[in-house]
Structure 1
Amino acid sequence: MTTVGAVTRAALRARRAALVRLAAWSAAEALPAALTGLLTARAVDAGFLAGRPAVGLLWLGLLAAAVLVGAVGTNRAYACLGDVVEPFRDDLLRRVVAGALAGATGGRVDDAAVGRLTHQVEIVRDTWAGLLTVVRGFLFAACAAIVGLFSLAAPVALLVTVPVLAGLGLFAAAVPAMIARQREYVLADERLTRVAVTAVTGHRDVSVSGAREQVTRWVGRHVDAQARVERRLAAMAVTRGLSLAVGGWLPVPVVVLATPWLVRQGLGPGAVLGALVYVVRGVQPALHTLVQGVAAGGLRFTVTLDRLLRTAVPAPGGAAPAGGARPAPPGRTALSLRGVTFRYGPHADPVLDGFDLDVPDGDHLVVVGASGIGKSTLAALIAGVLRPQAGTVEVGGTPVAGATAAELARRRVLIPQEAYVFTGSVRDNLRYLRPDLADPAIVRAAARLGLSELVDRLGGLDATLRPAGLSAGERQQVALLRAWLSPAPLVILDEATCHLDPATEARLEAAFAERPGTLVIIAHRVSSALRARRVLLLDGGHAMLDSHPGLLARSAAYRELVGYWEAGAEPVRSSPTPGRSAPLPTGSARRSSP
């Protein structure tokens, strides 16, 4: 839940002023909790039991005044709560919509996005407000009650504090299991949403084919699965009840049983009564509200927000250098693969087997090899589009397997051979990965890549692009300019210039090589290898990493590949020759034989 914590802290930092106002009014709201027991004790011991009812009524009058101040504090605190909650909800809506659009434009239609937008965002909004309410209520009310208890007598405060801490400890120990149950519930809800959408949109086909009963059973199984998850979630109420019994109710009999001893220590009946008031009217309700609020709303908030963030894209944030990427910190490895094995089926030969690769920050690496050897598979693994069956892939020090879509989007951008352009303005297409980018930065980047003429030919930034009206080369140039403007420090070009002439390809690759960050190119022509600092050769049973001259001198397979390229042909992967021995791996890449 690291991402949830980071997003939550960022939301709180962004609304510091509103939080300060909320804390101030919460302190006013907690005034009665701090004074109730103390003023009650004074009214009893110094007033009514002392035969001075007027003094007792005066103390109670002060308590009434404190209650009025607390009521004003409650009213103003709820007004401040909206200033914290609503901007957070708006940010989530932007993230969810952007994530759904990104998936759709990438060809991944997600029916569960409707459930996230209409249901899960509102869950997060409501539970976020509830969580803020219960946490600040517990902190201020419980602290006020404890301070009041210490103002009466330290022994009483200790008698109450020990079981309260024990109850909180029991609850904290059960929170991980509660989170797991809540996560199961959210996933079951998404699965049921997908199934329901599929069944409803296909109802005509279901009716025509006579499959109504089968579809009903199919949907029913998912309904039953969600019901089972909800029952398991409800069973966690036992733990909550135990925590409340220990922390909320146990202090009452403890204080009652200790009354003779407390009286012998010099406490009057009013002080004992005040202590019970603090427990029953302060500590107990505050603990009850915290446990119930966190168990219900807090867990739903954590799990649901985590689910939303895994399918969303980051909101527009800090600016990167215009026309370039945020460079990674010096000395870091931009890309690292360790023991990566990938196959397209359980019985298929591995495309990569035990593959190792290190790419330092700022490197310019070109990957070459015969068609079908696994170059695009390697690019997809680096980008997180594919997941290996074994081994780890790290981009910028972050494991791809555990990273959210938003985290990956900040670290790498992949341009495949078939570039994507959507119907919309030239501006929207170019700043798709940087929605906050100003027009001057786009114009400067287009000039840097030599694509100003293309932008003018398309009609300028306000012109509407229609994919069918563009050539394959024009689509690639639009996508390349979009990648240049991306904030990601790692750029992966998977034959992204195959529809361009060699001169244009050379100009664009040279520009990307000077862009801050790291460049990995799946080569389409031998000229890409000539411009690279390092070349990675994939050759079936092994890999070799060196410079272009180094590979020419040391690898017959590379010389053969270059010969094919210079002849205008492209070699196709052939079956490995029986008995052929693979040379030892070189450089910082290793690929073991299957």
Structure 2
Amino acid sequence: MRRDLLRVLGLWRGQAGWLLAGILVAAGSALLGVALLALAGQGVAAALGGSALAGGIAVLLLRLLILLRPAARWAERMVTHAATFRALADTRIWFFRRLAERLPAGIGLGRSGDLLGRLVADVDALDGLYLRSLVPALAALAVVAGGAALLAGAPLLAAAFALPLGLALALPFLLAPGAARAAGEAARAQGRLRAAAIDPLLGAEDVLAANGEAAAATRLSEAGERLAAAQRGLGWRSAIAGAAGGLLVQAALLGALAWGLASGEGGAALAVLGLFLAVAAAETLGLLPRAGIALASAAAGARRLFELADAAPPVAEPARPAPEPEGYAIRIEGLDFAWDPARGPVFQGLDLDLPEGTRLALLGPSGIGKSSLVALLLKLAAPQAGRITLGGTDIADLPAEFVRRRIACLTQDARLFDDSIAANLRLAAPAAPDAALWRALDRAGIGELVRALPEGLATGCGEGGARFSGGQARRIALARVLLSAAPVLVLDEPTAGLDAETERAFLETLEAVTAGRTVILVTHRLTGAERPTRILRLVGGRALPAAG
């Protein structure tokens, strides 16, 4: 638990200034509350002692603090929340990058709902580390220390004030390790609930077609009950911490009162001050009962994130990358590859030579290994034997980012995201100006249609490109690939799902716009519109010349 939380703080070091500022503002706000009640206590003590001057000064200062305290509380909320949002944004970006490196080989998650829960809910739970644990704890520590300093003239009173409040401050953190297991179960239960809710919605047509609504509802109900049970376990721990903290605050009040009674009239002023300080501390310590649970929940969320983030990437980056080659000829030599040894090899001794400018059609039925070859070329998977060279250099010795700048891919399920056309295109070239986007759209044969749209490049594509027909969406995806300067284009079943007329028109466009580049067309059949310079067929893990 502690190691995971320290690692989270390490991820947040880029926001150290904001995080420290939030703690200081929170501590200052809490100390203003102490000062406010301390002055009130002094005013009461002065009134009891008959000192009008001291009472008047206390009242004047009280007016000033009454104006400052709301401003300090506002500043505390603004700065601590800004620090939290910045830290969580950094965490999401870090986690997304780590996840993106590990997705190609699969991350062992068949349930997108659980993955969504890790990316959203588990990251959100990390705010408990800072906003609901560190900030209130350090603010409360400042209050206890400040109060003890004000009462330092009476050591017994200071001890009666500080000892129970110090224990109340430490109590949530002492209980946090015991709550870690319950928090972990709650986090897992929340992931199962998200999966049970989201997965049937993603496959709604299949669920409805199989009359599976009742079964899906049952699974959702069971997941909800497990989450509720886990949350009840956390709830009673939080209640125990809150009750114990309340008793310790009352102990501080009774201690100050007992000291005052024992000291007689001579100690009345300090006793009143001690009582008011205990009341001030109670306000700050009241935020702490949930701190231990928040800390345990943050640790559970961190553990789930690190489980995925620490998985080995499918293809390791070279420790010392080779110099980037200028050429882009591709050679595959003696390549053996299997996704899973238990399922048998995909390739055995595959050899393939693609000089610059080659236009290759690679044929084969579904499951023969065409998409596996694409994954190997893009360094989304690594062969068990043999090698692939790009410009004469083994791609194992080249950074994946460089390989993917030289080899671009248009897949059969190329996705348009729920964003503007411009944003979808700029995935390939983030700094591309509008003029470059229009050129790519024109070359893909979709420019006129986009110009006719009221919002042009700002037109939203809808989820999965739902705003456009299949052929239109594929052309926008093609424009995205063409926006890349990659000299090698891999087209993996680019016309899957298109009708015959749209398919032929799309292939004719491909033929025109890919001139001068190496093109690898991966398909299960040819239509006659492709005009490749070489045709090979994948058979038994090898590439053989296709029969006339």
TM-score w.r.t. length of structure 1: 0.52
Q: 2:490 aligns with which of 433, 453, 466?
A: 466
- Alignment partner, residue 248 of structure 2: 247
Q: Deviations over 1:46-94 (max 9, x none)?
A: x423434343121222233244444444333434334532332222222
- Tell me the amino acid that sits aligned with residue 206 of structure 2: D
Q: 2:307 aligns with which of 303, 306, 310?
A: 310
Task: Output the CA distance in 1 between the equivalents of 2:375 and 2:35.
Answer: 65
- Alignment partner, residue 17 of structure 2: 17
3-state DSSP class of the match of 2:486? Answer: coil
Asked whether the 8 Å contact 2:151–2:270 carries over to 1, the reply is: no
Asked whether the 8 Å contact 1:37–1:277 carries over to 2, the reply is: yes
Q: 2:292 aligns with which of 295, 301, 315?
A: 295
Task: Output the CA distance in 2 between the equivalents of 1:165 and 1:174.
Answer: 15
Name the CA shift for 1:141/1:421 in 2 (closer, same or farther; >3 Å): farther
**RMSD of aligned Cα (Å):** 4.5
Name the CA shift for 1:430/1:80 in 2 (closer, same or farther; >3 Å): farther
After TM superposition, give the deviation of residue 306 of structure 1 in Å: 2.2
Asked whether the 8 Å contact 1:43–1:270 carries over to 2, the reply is: no
TM-score w.r.t. length of structure 2: 0.56
Q: Deviations over 1:383-430 (max 9, x none)?
A: xxxxxxxxxxxxxxxxxxxxxxxxxxxxxxxxxxx967459xx9xx46
Asked whether the 8 Å contact 1:42–1:59 carries over to 2, the reply is: yes
3-state DSSP class of the match of 2:288? Answer: helix
Task: Output the CA distance in 2 between the equivalents of 1:208 and 1:235.
Answer: 43
Asked whether the 8 Å contact 2:406–2:487 carries over to 1, the reply is: no
Task: Output the CA distance in 1 between the equivalents of 2:98 and 2:396.
Answer: 30
After TM superposition, give the deviation of residue 184 of structure 1 in Å: 0.7
After TM superposition, give the deviation of residue 157 of structure 1 in Å: 1.0
Name the CA shift for 1:61/1:86 in 2 (closer, same or farther; >3 Å): same
After TM superposition, give the deviation of residue 228 of structure 1 in Å: 1.7
Task: Output the CA distance in 1 between the equivalents of 2:224 and 2:301.
Answer: 19
Task: Output the CA distance in 1 between the equivalents of 2:262 and 2:91.
Answer: 56
3-state DSSP class of the match of 2:321? Answer: coil
Name the CA shift for 1:21/1:259 in 2 (closer, same or farther; >3 Å): same
Task: Output the CA distance in 1 between the equivalents of 2:117 and 2:32.
Answer: 43
After TM superposition, give the deviation of residue 96 of structure 1 in Å: 3.8
- Alignment partner, residue 454 of structure 2: none
Name the CA shift for 1:98/1:9 in 2 (closer, same or farther; >3 Å): closer
Paired residues, number: 367
Query: Which stretches in structure 1 are left out of the alignment for 5+ residues?
Result: 325-370, 378-417, 434-441, 473-497, 501-594
Asked whether the 8 Å contact 2:38–2:276 carries over to 1, the reply is: no
3-state DSSP class of the match of 1:162? Answer: helix
3-state DSSP class of the match of 2:133? Answer: helix
Which range is displaced more, 153-162 or 118-127?
Answer: 118-127
After TM superposition, give the deviation of residue 289 of structure 1 in Å: 1.1
After TM superposition, give the deviation of residue 251 of structure 1 in Å: 1.6
- Alignment partner, residue 98 of structure 1: 97
Task: Output the CA distance in 2 between the equivalents of 1:449 and 1:103.
Answer: 19
Name the CA shift for 1:12/1:98 in 2 (closer, same or farther; >3 Å): closer
Name the CA shift for 1:311/1:33 in 2 (closer, same or farther; >3 Å): same
- Alignment partner, residue 184 of structure 2: 183
Task: Output the CA distance in 2 between the equivalents of 1:18 and 1:298.
Answer: 20
- Alignment partner, residue 274 of structure 1: 273
After TM superposition, give the deviation of residue 182 of structure 1 in Å: 1.2
Name the CA shift for 1:178/1:219 in 2 (closer, same or farther; >3 Å): same
Task: Output the CA distance in 2 between the equivalents of 1:20 and 1:161.
Answer: 25
- Alignment partner, residue 55 of structure 2: 56
Task: Output the CA distance in 2 between the equivalents of 1:233 and 1:448.
Answer: 48
Matches within 5 A, 1:167-566: 167-168=168-169, 170-263=171-264, 266-267=266-267, 269-282=268-281, 284-292=282-290, 294-312=291-309, 323=321, 421-422=374-375, 429=378, 462-463=486-487, 465-466=489-490, 468=492
Task: Output the CA distance in 2 between the equivalents of 1:70 and 1:450.
Answer: 59
After TM superposition, give the deviation of residue 273 of structure 1 in Å: 1.1
Matches within 5 A, 1:114-125: 114-125=116-127
Task: Output the CA distance in 2 between the equivalents of 1:312 and 1:8.
Answer: 12
Q: Deviations over 1:538-580 (max 9, x none)?
A: xxxxxxxxxxxxxxxxxxxxxxxxxxxxxxxxxxxxxxxxxxx
Name the CA shift for 1:446/1:90 in 2 (closer, same or farther; >3 Å): farther
Task: Output the CA distance in 2 between the equivalents of 1:89 and 1:450.
Answer: 32
3-state DSSP class of the match of 1:466? Answer: strand
Task: Output the CA distance in 1 between the equivalents of 2:193 and 2:8.
Answer: 28
Q: Deviations over 1:466-492 (max 9, x none)?
A: 3746599xxxxxxxxxxxxxxxxxxxx
- Alignment partner, residue 89 of structure 1: 88
Name the CA shift for 1:430/1:422 in 2 (closer, same or farther; >3 Å): closer
**Identical pairs, percent:** 14
Asked whether the 8 Å contact 1:34–1:147 carries over to 2, the reply is: no
Q: Deviations over 1:246-275 (max 9, x none)?
A: 3222222232233321227x31x2221111
Task: Output the CA distance in 2 between the equivalents of 1:101 and 1:24.
Answer: 37
Name the CA shift for 1:464/1:90 in 2 (closer, same or farther; >3 Å): farther
Name the CA shift for 1:33/1:121 in 2 (closer, same or farther; >3 Å): same
Task: Output the CA distance in 2 between the equivalents of 1:275 and 1:238.
Answer: 27
Task: Output the CA distance in 2 between the equivalents of 1:419 and 1:64.
Answer: 74
- Alignment partner, residue 478 of structure 1: none
Which range is displaced more, 72-81 or 442-451?
Answer: 442-451
- Tell me the amino acid that sits aligned with residue 161 of structure 2: V
Name the CA shift for 1:83/1:432 in 2 (closer, same or farther; >3 Å): farther
